[in-house]
Structure 1
Amino acid sequence: MTSRTLRIAMNGVTGRMGYRQHLVRSLLAIRDQGGLELGDGRTLVPEPVLVGRREPALRAIAERHDLPHWTTDLDAVLADETIDVYFDAQATSARVTALGRAIAAGKHVYTEKPTATDLASALELARLADAAGIRHGVVQDKIFLPGLLKLKRLVDGGFFGEILSVRGEFGYWVFEGDWQDAQRPSWNYRAEDGGGISLDMFPHWAYVLGELFGRVTSVTALVTTHVPRRWDESGRPYAATADDAAYAILQLEGGAVAQLNSSWAVRVMRDELVEFQVDGTHGSAVAGLRRCRAQHRSATPRPVWDPELPATEPFREQWQEIPDNGTFENGFKAQWELFLRHVALGTPYHWDLLAGARGVQLAELGLRSSAEGRRLDVPELTL
């Protein structure tokens, strides 16, 4: 078996997601397992080249993982003909410019979402990438997680009958930063820096709903900033100009209705940080990132509403756990492997920059729906 090295410029690895999920748990994990077998007698070995603005942080990561190649010079990396792929996990506001430069340099690109802060820029990136003939992908990690893979198994098997509704709850309390450090960077709460939960989470909802239940055809949203004052990484107070909660009703192709709440100002009273309940004529299911439980029509209890008496039914115990029936990889690693195969072999891959633009479109329309106080249609996107 022969091996081939694929050099990947990774911009943004000093951030939490770029470091933990993409570098350590994805590319280094693939490298440590001996590479990615391509099925044709070859093995693909990723070689990360770290890129960023903070030299001490880059150096520390490189030394920790014995990575010889790192730089603060993005221009030099993009001019390097040995670099095959450019990956972006920077703050959203820096993404469009960097991706555009990578595409112009002829690099394949793989990027976190949102791909841009506005739909026009997201579509332009997709057009430029297609015109350049490069391979391009956008991280859409949630559909590769165990809970949603099990939920998809139920959908594909016809378990639900006609799907009527989807209800999603996502969020947790992000500390303001005064008496406890915030769990998210301060730019997330500044609209001028590309922050906001709508821009962060609506792109997730676009692909989760589209992959499992059908394309979103209309959106009605209320977007707000519940916590208007926060403290940054240096302990300085600042005004939160971006939304930290978004409440949406989405019509899906085929008629189902989705209700999705996203909030960084909510305390968790559920089994996982995100959960989806799907109700259909033949059964229902509740899925998180790891677990999925279901209740078939034949096993549905007969609750009776009586506010005079305490509830005695063990509702949670009336649901059946859906088994793993397999081994699940880290969701980010699983999608990286698919993208690397796409680069090396040209295998089909539809999670591209156009798919990323659909997520930006839903976020943009959600914000506009809230500002205008009305329901908006979601046109189907094409290049």
Structure 2
Amino acid sequence: MHQLSLLGTGLIGMFYTQSLHQYQPGVRVAHVYSRRKERAEKFAADWDIPRWSTDLDAAINDPHTDTVLIGLPNHLHKTAILKAAAAGKAILCTKPLAMNAAEALEVLEAVEAAGVFHGYLEDLCYTPKTLKALQAVQNGALGQVLWTRSREAHPGPHSDWFWDPTRSGGGAIIDMGCHCIEIGRNFIGKQVQPLEVVCWADTLVKPIDAEDNAVGLIRYESGALSQFDVSWTYRGGMDLRDEVAGENGTIRLDHWLRTGFELFTETGMGGYVAEKAESETGWLFPVGDEVNALGYVHMFRDMFEAMDAGTAPMETFYDGYVVNAIMDACYRS
């Protein structure tokens, strides 16, 4: 049985709690932290969580929890991780791991020095389609991987802190590029070193001090190229697609807009449609099981199976550090 201290009550905290409580037997959020009392109290009531707090230290050091689950804004990750490592707790942190590579390296060294379990929560690396495609690649179905492309685009984030680079660390690259970079890295092979980055980014629509669109190319030592394109200005919902090309085959994945469930309505569905859906009428593309389709179920299964077995999960803080380093290079380019 695992008892968790959840830090953060935003959209990602809701997805995490829904996935854990509905799909992970023996895993429960037992303490939830929010900076605002009303948010903490309501979240605890909504999800039947016995304890809530506005005191970060109290939540992390709760003697009845063994794992700290971090779903906070990016600028708070480092502080939370260092405190959790000092408390000797297992740590699961949402993406990106940190504001930049220097911070990511600091927290990686802290968890390694403390000897605590660490998992990097890149959910889109764990979607059922992605895991099956990755297995095919690892089994040699495509031969040597030559090129990957990952795209994430939608109308923009839910919370205002994303728009502020002093709290987020950047714009669309650090928000969504982290997913795309790690997806490409998994398909090419984590043992293959990235060598060079070229990236173009601009603020085209949003009145913000960060990029709302970007395209990047990462060259690996094998010669493989990994392409990502991200946008906070895409209209019509959320576009999640991946492609992999090898010497002997090709994979194409469409995760969100073309789910096989298309619905036209003049009156609306009468409730939630899907993440980043812009309308409740007209043509809609609902998702049958959202937390599963987005990878949360398989991600947490991997994390807790690895934790119980005393092994490393598929995604660790080292992977988060590599992704932060690549994103730093994107911004420098």
Match of 1:28 in 2: 21
Give the Cα separation in 1 of the matches to 2:132 and 2:76. 35
Output one character per residue of 1:127-162: Cα deviation in whole Å (capped at 9) or x when no partner. 111111111111021121122123223313433234
Q: 1:168 to 1:347 in 2, by over 3 A?
A: closer
2:217 to 249, 254, 269: 249
Give the Cα separation in 1 of the matches to 2:145 and 2:257. 20
Give the Cα separation in 2 of the matches to 1:190 and 1:98. 20
Output one character per residue of 1:323-355: Cα deviation in whole Å (capped at 9) or x when no partner. xxxxx7762122212222333331332421111
Match of 2:176 in 1: 201
Q: How does 1:34-49 map to 2 (within 5 A)?
A: 35=25, 44-49=26-31
Match of 1:378 in 2: none
Q: 1:330 to 1:273 in 2, by over 3 A?
A: closer
Amino acid at match of 1:15: G
Q: How does 1:225-244 map to 2 (within 5 A)?
A: 225-229=203-207, 240-244=208-212
Give the Cα separation in 1 of the matches to 2:242 and 2:29. 37
Correspondence 1:133 to 2:111: no
Amino acid at match of 2:243: Q
Maintained 8 Å contact 1:8/1:87: yes
Match of 1:258 in 2: 226
- Cα-Cα RMSD: 2.4
Q: How does 1:320-331 map to 2 (within 5 A)?
A: 331=295
Amino acid at match of 1:185: S
Task: Give the TM-score normalised by structure 2.
Answer: 0.82
Q: How does 1:1-383 map to 2 (within 5 A)?
A: 5-12=1-8, 14-19=9-14, 21-24=15-18, 26-30=19-23, 35=25, 44-174=26-156, 183-194=157-168, 195-214=170-189, 215=192, 216-229=194-207, 240-267=208-235, 273-289=239-255, 331-369=295-333
Q: Secondary structure at the match of 2:204?
A: coil
Q: 1:78 to 1:275 in 2, by over 3 A?
A: closer
Maintained 8 Å contact 1:202/1:362: no
Match of 2:287 in 1: none
Shift of 1:193: 1.5
Maintained 8 Å contact 1:8/1:85: yes
Q: 1:115 to 1:348 in 2, by over 3 A?
A: closer
Q: Secondary structure at the match of 2:149?
A: strand
Q: Any runs of at least 4 consecutive aligned residues in structure 1 with deviations exceeding 4 A, and if so which? A: none
Q: 1:53 to 1:258 in 2, by over 3 A?
A: same
Q: 1:54 to 1:211 in 2, by over 3 A?
A: same
Q: 1:333 to 1:252 in 2, by over 3 A?
A: same
Q: 1:197 to 1:290 in 2, by over 3 A?
A: closer
Structure number with larger C-alpha Rg: 1
Shift of 1:85: 0.8
Q: Secondary structure at the match of 2:49?
A: coil
Output one character per residue of 1:192-233: Cα deviation in whole Å (capped at 9) or x when no partner. 11141111223223321221113432210012111242xxxx
Task: Give the TM-score normalised by structure 1.
Answer: 0.71
Output one character per residue of 1:360-383: Cα deviation in whole Å (capped at 9) or x when no partner. 1111110001xxxxxxxxxxxxxx
Q: Secondary structure at the match of 2:180?
A: helix
Q: Secondary structure at the match of 1:208?
A: helix
Q: 1:185 to 1:291 in 2, by over 3 A?
A: closer
Flag structure 2 segments of 5+ consecutive residues without an equivalent.
Answer: 259-291
Maintained 8 Å contact 1:171/1:268: no
Give the Cα separation in 2 of the matches to 1:48 and 1:332. 19
Maintained 8 Å contact 1:189/1:244: no
